[in-house]
Structures are given as C-alpha cells and as structure tokens.
Amino acid sequence: MKINANFANLKPSYLFRDIAQKTAEYKAAHPETDIIKMGIGDVTLPLCKAAVTAMEKAVAEMGNKETFHGYPEAFGESFLLEAISNYYKKEMGVRLDTNEICVTCGAKEDVSNILDIFSADNTVLIPDPVYPVYYDTNVMDGRKINFISSNESNSFLPLPDENTKGDIIYLCSPNNPTGAAYTRDQLKIWVDFALSHDAVILYDAAYEIFVSDPDCPRSIFEIEGAEKCAVEFCSFSKTAGFTGTRCGYTVIPSELSFDNTSLLSLWKRRQSTKFNGVAYIIQRGAAAVLSDEGVKQIRENINYYRTNTANMMNTFDKLNIKYYGGKNSPYIWLKCPNNMKSWEFFDLLLTKCGVVGTPGEGFGVNGEGFFRLSGFGDVNRTLEALQRIQKLFE
Ligand code: MLT
C-alpha cells in the first residue's frame, strides 16, 4: 500500500487549524488574557427566526410516522431548489432551472469535491492570495498550479493577459481574503477568456450577499456567456449563519459541456455515488431563509456585521493604516503597519492586544505583509478589540 505522496507537498497544517492551535497555546500559557477572535470567518449571530421555526416544524415531522422522511433527495428537495431558483431571479435577475442546482453541505466541500470530475492533467489557475482550500485540494490531487498575482497594483482584482494559462480557473468574488469584488466589466473579461481558452471558471460566490456596489455582480451568471464556461458555488454559511448547520449549493448550467460531456451530468453522477444529500431538517431551514421574511431577517444580520466592518474602517482611517475590503465584504484586509510581516503582526496583536486575526501570508505569497480581520464578531467585542489596537498604535 502506498499513501498519496502529494500530501508531502502541503504545509503541515491547514491555515485556520494553525491559528486555532497557536491561540490555544497562548491562552494556556496566559490564562488571564481575554482573547477576542477575529480570525476565521465564523458567524456569531444565531440562526434567524424563520429558519428556526421551519427547522422545529421539520423536527416534529421527523418524529411522526406519517410525515417522517428517510434519505433526502440526492441533489436537494424540490422546495429548496425552487427557493434558490426564486432567490436568483428576485435578487440577481438570473434564471436558473431547478435541475441545474445541487444542494450540498457547503461551498468548502464543493470547491474541492468538484475536482473529481476533472482530469488530473489539467492546469489550475489560482489567484494569489486566495482562500487556501483551492490550492490545498489541487496539491492533494497533484495538479499543476499556476498563480495569477493579486496585489495592490491591480487592487487585488487580477485580470488575464496573454501569459495567463489555466484550464480550471478559480475566482472568488467578493474575495476571501481581500474583500475586493469584480465589476461586471471585469468579470466579462474572465468569461471571455475562459470561452476563448476552453477553460472552466469555478466561481466561489459564498460572500455574494455582502455586495453593496451595484456595478459588482453577485452571481457570475449575471454575465453573458458564463452559462457556457462557469460553475458557481454558494453557501448558507455566511449569508444565513449556517457555519455550524452546513448547507450550500452548486449551480452547473445544463449547457455547460467539455469534450462533448455535460458537467452537470458528471457532477450528479459523482454526487449520487458519494453523497446522500443534506438532512431534511436543514433543507427546511435553508428554504425558510430564502422566503421573503427570511431574507429580511438575514439582511438584518448582515447589517449587524456591516457595523463591525464600518467600525474597523473608522479605526484604521484614524490610525492611517491602509486597508482594502469592508465595502462589499465582511473582511478587512489591512497592510501591516511598519512593514511588519504577517505572522509578526499576528504575534504582536495576540500578545499586546489579545486579538486574533489571520496572517495574509496564509492565503498565498502575495498576502505577506497583510492581515485579515473578520467582521463576523459581536459588535461590542469588536469595538473592544479596536480600542485595544488603537491604544497600541496611536
Ligand atoms: C474563512 O475564514 O476564510 C472561512 O470561514 C473559512 C471557510 O469558510 O472555510
């Protein structure tokens, strides 16, 4: 028996586990420190009332012989597929057939599971910096990886040029970690590039609900031609606080095909073999989130998180610390003061302020010298963290 030797090419541990471990070690050595966590983008507000009510009702159904459900539908229950399709139509003006949506346990799983349907011979194109799952999962499969540089000079929104090469292109907008969001015109450039190079775009839209700029699309399917070159991933984690409840979905247009083969049919073949669907109770909660009342409630939660990003922007403006993001994203991507390295700044904030963030270097080489703070925390705790940071730098 041989193990997958590609794992030797990974960093020993996943970024957010590294941070959790360093934080736990520091806390064990300094139990008196009141630590404020602004590292991993984990939500802090509870599920909205519409979701809770629907899930309670679903639990009661499951406890009754007449209304009990066994295995869920492999690609999602029709009530949730219809709710997602309506949401796209209402919120983004995008028409999706329910057959093109597959409900899953979340975008993190999907952006890596989708690789099962692509040959390991493909070259992958990944922006640097970006969500580390894209890189790690392709390293595990042994694919060749090219990077496209995302940096201050392109406002963290890289575009392809004649040197850009990749068969599988990951894009994340609004971006994790930088918070930058592509405009329609910019995204059209990527769509045209993919179409003319026979490439597929894997579009991570997990943060779509944070887009406030009308020039920035929330779905790649707002762009003409995307239905012939793109797959979209989305999640209820950030939109509706489902990080612990787990539900997401993948959209694959029925006309998307390569080598005369529909990607949707390959994905459904993969899913029906390896996945038994999302729990009925969770799907009821997710569908309720997308009802008119549910959308109103989750928008209130998003506005709460926006208070955090607004407070962060205020503080960093006062301190003259340069930052990106915040406007269309729950993340602030700041330039470490005094030319500090990312992990140096991590140690400084942890030891002097008791504040945990995410070192930019963990998202790629170009993230060195940057630092990500999450706006998903409690408003008062975030203010407390900002006061401590302000004291340190003024
Ligand atoms: C993040 O902090 O980047 C995300 O919460 C991680 C994730 O969604 O897996």
101-126 pLDDT, tens digit each: 999 999 999 999 999 999 999 999 99
Tell me which of 131, 247, 358, 374 to substitute to probe ligand 1's pocket, judged by most ligand atoms within 8 Å of the beta carbon. Answer: 131
Domain count within the chain:
2
User: For residue range 152-197, what is the model confidence (pLDDT) as tens digits?
Assistant: 999 999 999 999 999 999 999 999 999 999 999 999 999 999 999 9
Is ligand 1 within 6 A of the CB of residue 23? Answer: no
134 and 160 in a single domain? The answer is: yes
The confidence score (pLDDT) of residue 188 equals 98
Domain boundary among 238, 268, 292: 292
* Residues forming a β-bridge with 168: 124, 200
Is ligand 1 within 6 A of the CB of residue 41? Answer: yes
Please state, for a pLDDT cut of 90, what percent of the chain lies above it.
Answer: 99
Mean pLDDT, range 339-361, rounded to an integer: 98
37 and 174 in a single domain? The answer is: no
Asked whether the predicted pLDDT for residue 379 surpasses 90, the reply is yes
How much is the mean pLDDT over the chain? 97
SS3 390: helix
Is ligand 1 within 6 A of the CB of residue 175? Answer: no
Asked whether the predicted pLDDT for residue 394 surpasses 90, the reply is no
Confidence of residue 392 (pLDDT cuts 50, 70, 90): very high
Q: Can you give the CATH number for the domain in which 301 is found? A: 3.90.1150.10
144 and 221 in a single domain? The answer is: yes
The confidence score (pLDDT) of residue 12 equals 86
Q: What is the pTM of this model?
A: 0.97
25 and 54 in a single domain? The answer is: no
**Span from the CA of 258 to the centroid of ligand 1 (angstroms):** 30
358 and 224 in a single domain? The answer is: no
Write out the residue range of the structural domain in which residue 19 sits. Answer: 13-46+294-388
288 and 298 in a single domain? The answer is: no
Tell me which of 16, 110, 234 to substitute to probe ligand 1's pocket, judged by most ligand atoms within 8 Å of the beta carbon. Answer: 16
250 and 176 in a single domain? The answer is: yes
Cβ(382)–Cβ(311) under 8 Å? Answer: yes
**Span from the CA of 41 to the centroid of ligand 1 (angstroms):** 5
Whole-angstrom CA distances from 81 to 94, 231, 283 are 14, 16, 10
Is ligand 1 within 6 A of the CB of residue 372? Answer: no
Asked whether the predicted pLDDT for residue 263 surpasses 90, the reply is yes
The confidence score (pLDDT) of residue 198 equals 98
- Report yes or no on 252 lying in a domain: yes
> CA–CA separation, 50 vs 232, rounded Å?
26
User: For residue range 213-226, what is the model confidence (pLDDT) as tens digits?
Assistant: 999 999 999 999 99
Burial class (CB in 10 A: 0-12, 13-18, 19+), 214: exposed
- Report yes or no on 286 lying in a domain: yes
**Span from the CA of 263 to the centroid of ligand 1 (angstroms):** 26
Asked whether the predicted pLDDT for residue 90 surpasses 90, the reply is yes
Q: Which of 286, 275, 207, 295 is nearest to 247 (CA)?
A: 286
> CA–CA separation, 346 vs 336, rounded Å?
9
Angle separating helix axes 292-318 and 379-393, nearest 10 degrees: 10
